[in-house]
Amino acid sequence: MKKNIVLRILFLLFTFLTSYEIKGQEISKILIIDKNSGDPIDFASLIVNGNVCCSSSKTGEITLNILEFQKGDSIVISKLGYTSTLFIFDFKKSFPPSFTLQPKHIALNEVTFKEKKVKRFKLGNPVTFTVNKFLPRTEDAFATYIPGDREGFVNGINLNLSDALNGITSPFKLEICEITKNGIPGKSLINESLILNNSKKKSWFYIDLSSYNITIPKQGFFVIVSILNENYYEKGRVYWHRMSFKQLPCFALRAYKKNETSYTLIRYKSINGFEWHKMRRSIINLEITAEGSN
């Protein structure tokens, strides 16, 4: 009898902690968990009807206002290295207390080239030291064009990060896109929104993309790194030459090299909305690892 009473109290307490109302809001907390290890997954993206809504905290939690969702909303939980899970929202069912994501296991021989020896190569012209840094604002984006002068597949990206704003571990978004006739980013080559964080504070952060089988387009492609909206970041501020910034990740820059065909575009909010502009003297310091048959 006493055991049943204790269990009921624990259940009521859990329900109170995971779902409660605040001034017309119905707040719910969900936990994102690794299916194999049972560990919480940080910076997993919650995508509502194709738009990134928020990401899980370092403890794997996502706090949501249930009243902001509508019946039939398509909700995807996504994280690089895991198989995404889909949930259709229904007021009667609401959100489950947790979601589990299955880690992806990619066989080494999944990508092969018939009758040709696979060669590994690199694209881009990174430098070991950077000449500049750009202090971004929320929702700024940087698109670096990589020429498609080699045939093969993209294995990964080695990205140079800076801690100028004390935010080197803060999340950012990665996209790989085609180039349009106007020389700006077009259709995405990855069917997921990749929200990443450099938790080990590495100045060179390697992003493994081998599981996506991205073919290098002949016309080249863009690597886009974006600062997310302000809800993803802590409220602390950093002051740089009397200017105030949020604690954001910074992407290191290098100078253009002679006769180089790569370039970086920056997109920021102006009076005309969000527009792409070419950076005149600098380019994001990154390197593409790839493999192919030539």
Kindly state the tokens that stand for 72: 């039939």
**What are 185-214's pLDDT values in tens digits?**
999 998 777 888 888 899 999 999 988 889
pLDDT at 19: 46
Look at strands 119-123 and 98-103 and give their pairing.
Answer: unpaired
Quick one: 165 and 287 in the same domain?
Answer: yes
Contact 121, 151 (CB under 8 A): no
Residue at 241 is within a domain: yes
- Residue 66 belongs to some domain of the structure: yes
The string of DSSP letters for the chain reads: -HHHHHHHHHHHHHHHHHEEEETTEEEEEEEEEETTT--B-TT-EEEETTEEEEE--TTSEEEEEGGG--TT-EEEEE-TTEE-EEEE--TTT---SEEEEEEP---TTSS--TTS--EEEEES---SS-SEE----TT-EEEEEE---S-SEEEEEEEEEE-TTS-TTS-EEEEEEEE-TTSSEEEESSSS-EEE--TT--SEEEEE-GGG-EE--TT-EEEEEE---GGGS-S-EEEETTEEEES--EEEEEEPPTT---EEEEEEEETTEEEEEE-SSEEE-EEEEEEE--
Q: Domain containing 39: what range?
A: 2-103
178 with 268, same domain: the answer is yes
Do 245 and 281 fall into the same domain? yes
Q: Determine the Cα–Cα distance for residues 193 and 56; give it in Å rounded to an integer.
A: 14
Report the pLDDT value the prediction gives residue 155, as an integer from 0 to 100: 93
Q: pLDDT under 70 in the chain at which residues?
A: 1-25, 91-93, 105-117, 128-133, 293-294
Q: Domain check: are 162 and 229 in the same one?
A: yes
Is residue 110 one of the residues assigned to a domain? no
Instruction: Determine contact, residues 111/153, Cβ cutoff 8 Å.
Output: yes
pTM for the full predicted model: 0.67
Shared-domain flag, residues 95 and 139: no
Domain co-membership, 87 together with 162: no
Q: Are residues 96 and 134 in the same domain?
A: no
